[in-house]
Chains A and B, each alone.
Chain A
Amino acid sequence: MISLNVNQKNYQVDVSPDMPLLWVIRDTLGLTGTKYGCGVAQCGACVVHLNGEAVRSCITKVSRAEGKKILTIEGLSENNNHPLQKAWQEIDVPQCGYCHSGQLMSAAVLLRENPNPTDQDIDDAMAGNICRCGTYLRIRKAIHLAAEMQQKG
C-alpha cells in the first residue's frame, strides 16, 4: 500500500510503485480532470503539483509522490475561484479544453513565484504546455489578468 495526499486528503492505494502517478490519480482515485496527452512528458496535459512543483504525472512514478503533497486541478481552489480560473472564464480561453487543466496548473506555479510576470516570463513558464487549438495568446492574456486579480485580492 502506498500513502498519498491528494488535494489535502489522505489515501492508501494498492498499486505498483512504478505505476505512473497519472494512472493512480485518474483510474484509482477517479480524479479525471488531469488529462493524458502524450505519455512522454512532451505536452504538459498531465501537469499536477508535487510539493508545489509542476511535475508531469504521466512519467512520474507514484513512488516518487509518496509522502508528498499532490495537487490536481480539482484541488486548485475550493470553488473554481482561483484567479487563474476566473480569468480563464472571463476571457473564455479554451477551445477544445483538453490541455487546459495542465495549462492552469503550470500557470499557477508561475503566478506563485512571479506575481507580476512579463510576456517573456509567461513564455518561459508555459513553453512546455502545448495547445493544439493554438489558444496561446488568450492564455497569455488570461495570465496577465489573473496577475491583476491576484494583486487586487
Chain B
Amino acid sequence: MKQHSQNNTKKILPLKSIAIMLVMLFTVAAVTLAFKEKNDVALYNHAPANINKDSIESVKAFMQVYKVLMSPRCMNCHPSGDVPLQGDDSHLHTMLPKRGKEGKGVYAMKCTNCHQPENTAGVHMPPGDPNWHLPPADMKMVFQGRKPHQLAKQLIDPKQNGNKNKQQLIAHADDVLVLAAWNPGEGRTLPPMSHAGFKKAWITWLEKGAYAPKK
C-alpha cells in the first residue's frame, strides 16, 4: 500500500508542477504585455494602433536626430537659461539678450532688431529669418544639457513640445526656423547631417514608435 501510495504521489507531482508553471507563465506573460502596452502608448496615447513599431530602429534613428538637435545650429536657440547661445562653441550670446515672455526678446533687445528676415552677408554677421525667436518663457523646450532619454521624452510630450501631436511634429521638420539651421550664414558649421537625412531619421523615430533611448 505504501508503495502504491508513493507511486500515486509521483504521478500527481508532475501535474502539480505543470499547473504551477503554467500559472507562473501566464502571470509573467500578462505582466510583460501590460508593460509593453504601457511603453507603446506612453509616447503617443492618441496614435492609432501601429503594427509598424520597432523600438530598435526607432531608438537608432533618434540617436541621429539627437546629434543634430544638440549641434550648435539647433541647441543655440534652445538654451537652458534665458540667454540664447552663439557660435560653434555655444557661448552665451554677446550683449546677453533675454528670452522675454514670448521668446522674442525684451524692450530694445528684441531678436529681430538685429536678426533680419534673411541672413546678413558677411562672416559671423547676424543670421536671419522672418520669425527669429527662442521658445517662449512658459515652454522653454530646452535642448542644452538634455540626455537622449530626456530629450526624446520631452519632444513627444505635448506639454513640453509646443502642444504638437505626431503629425505636427513630423511637419515641424520643414519649419522655416528648423530649415534655417542648414542655411546658417557665413562662418558657422552645418548640422552633422543633411536636412534630408535628418528628416528621414526624425520621421523614422516617430513612425517606429517614438521610443526613448534608455539613457
Given contacts A53-B112, A53-B113, A121-B107, contact A127 B95 (CB under 8 A): yes
Let me know if A127 and B116 touch, CB within 8 A: no
Which stretch, A26-34, A75-83, A106-114, touches the partner chain B? A106-114
Given contacts A61-B116, A128-B95, contact A54 B125 (CB under 8 A): no
Which one of B96, B98, B110, B114 contacts A41 once the chains associate, using CB atoms below 8 Å? B114
Which one of A41, A59, A110 contacts B107 once the chains associate, using CB atoms below 8 Å? A110
B94 at interface (Cβ–Cβ under 8 A)? yes
Let me know if B126 and A59 touch, CB within 8 A: yes
Contacts of A114 in B (CB 8 A): 107
Kindly report which residue of chain A lies nearest to residue B98, judged by CB atoms. A124
Which one of B94, B107, B112, B125 contacts A113 once the chains associate, using CB atoms below 8 Å? B107
Report the Cα distance A107→B98, complex, angstroms. 16
Q: Size range of the interface on B?
A: 10 to 19
Give the size of the chain A interface in residues (CB under 8 angstroms): 26
Contacts of A19 in B (CB 8 A): none
A residues 5-56 touching B (CB-CB < 8 Å): 40-42, 47, 53-56
Let me know if B97 and A127 touch, CB within 8 A: yes
B120 at interface (Cβ–Cβ under 8 A)? yes
Kindly report which residue of chain B lies nearest to residue A61, judged by CB atoms. B116
Let me know if B125 and A128 touch, CB within 8 A: no
Q: CB-defined interface of B98-126 with A at 8 Å, one 1/0 digit per residue?
A: 10000000111110111011001010011
Report the Cα distance A61→B126, complex, angstroms. 13
A126 at interface (Cβ–Cβ under 8 A)? yes
Q: CB-defined interface of A57-70 with B at 8 Å, one 1/0 digit per residue?
A: 00111001000000
Kindly report which residue of chain A lies nearest to residue B115, judged by CB atoms. A41
Given contacts A41-B120, A59-B116, A127-B95, contact A53 B110 (CB under 8 A): yes
Kindly report which residue of chain A lies nearest to residue B126, judged by CB atoms. A41
Let me know if A109 and B126 touch, CB within 8 A: no
Let me know if B122 and A127 touch, CB within 8 A: no
Contacts of A53 in B (CB 8 A): 110, 112-113
Which one of B108, B116, B120 contacts A109 once the chains associate, using CB atoms below 8 Å? B108
9 pairs of A and B residues whose beta carbons are closest in the complex:
A106-B108, A125-B107, A54-B108, A41-B114, A128-B95, A110-B107, A109-B108, A125-B108, A55-B113
In addition to A54-B113, A113-B107, 9 A-B residue pairs with Cβ atoms within 8 Å of each other are: A40-B122, A40-B125, A47-B108, A56-B114, A59-B116, A59-B125, A61-B116, A125-B107, A127-B96
Report 12 cross-chain contacts, Cβ distance below 8 Å, ordered by A residue. A41-B126, A53-B110, A54-B107, A59-B125, A106-B108, A110-B108, A113-B107, A124-B107, A125-B109, A128-B97, A128-B113, A128-B114
